[in-house]
Amino acid sequence: MRDAVIAHSRPHYTPPVPTIGVLALQGDVREHLTALTGLGARAIAVRRPAELDACDGLVLPGGESTTMWRLARIFDLLDPLRERVREGMPAFGTCAGMILLADRVLDAVAGQETVGGLDVTVRRNAFGRQVDSFETELKVTGLPDPVPAVFIRAPWVEEAGPEVEVLATAMDHPVAVRQGPLLATSFHPEVDGDGRIHRLFLDVVAGG
């Protein structure tokens, strides 16, 4: 009886709520913040190094990769981003964010830089122009049912290094990949309301 009372009196353990930043220089920032908050994360917009320092993980959203790179330079964020990724901070790039995480980019503009860390070669606008945007469903490794996928001027992976796991393909090219704490998709999971890809990233942040 005494043991039962002691067990009952122990405080309930509540796992810490992760702080997930969304790079807020351009692109689908609000949509990612909404998706992450809906899954129970503390989501914050990141425009400055001090905000980046507060993050357990970071989302690099869809948008225009060249604009994000230039603004990251202007805001003195590019080098801090590279350092945090090298240190092992979990990061999730969608569409333009995949380009920013890639070590190598085909069809890049002159002088285009990336954050890097993901041992892939990506091709910008591989699926065509804005008018070529499309929606489909993809089988993603680790998820039992297909997920909706929206492709808008999307890149694809031309080559992946030996440590990169391909999670999904479209048109015979990888469109979702993971390398350790880094996750990237060619498509925009933030616009479909499904939530499972964001949950997959939160599991990465939690050490899954």
d(CA 81, CA 96): 15
Q: Say if CB 25 and CB 75 are below 8 A apart.
A: yes
Buried b / exposed e over 21-42, threshold 16 CB at 10 Å, is: bbbbbbbbbebbbebbeebebe
- Helix/strand/coil for 208: coil
CA distance 124 to 57: 25
For residue 6, what are the CA distances in angstroms to 1, 10, 12, 14, 89? Answer: 9, 6, 12, 19, 39
Q: What is the pTM of this model?
A: 0.90
- pLDDT tens for the chain, 208 residues long, are 455 444 445 566 556 789 999 999 999 999 999 999 999 999 999 999 999 999 999 999 999 999 999 999 999 999 999 999 999 999 999 999 999 999 999 999 999 999 999 999 999 999 877 766 889 999 999 999 999 999 999 999 999 999 999 999 999 999 999 999 999 999 999 988 899 999 999 999 998 6
Q: Return the CATH superfamily for domain 15-205.
A: Class I glutamine amidotransferase (GATase) domain (3.40.50.880)
Q: Are 78 and 52 in contact (CB under 8 A)?
A: no
pLDDT for the residue numbered 6: 47
Active site members: 95, 188, 190
What confidence score (pLDDT) does residue 7 get?
47
How is residue 67 written in tokens? Answer: 């604009």
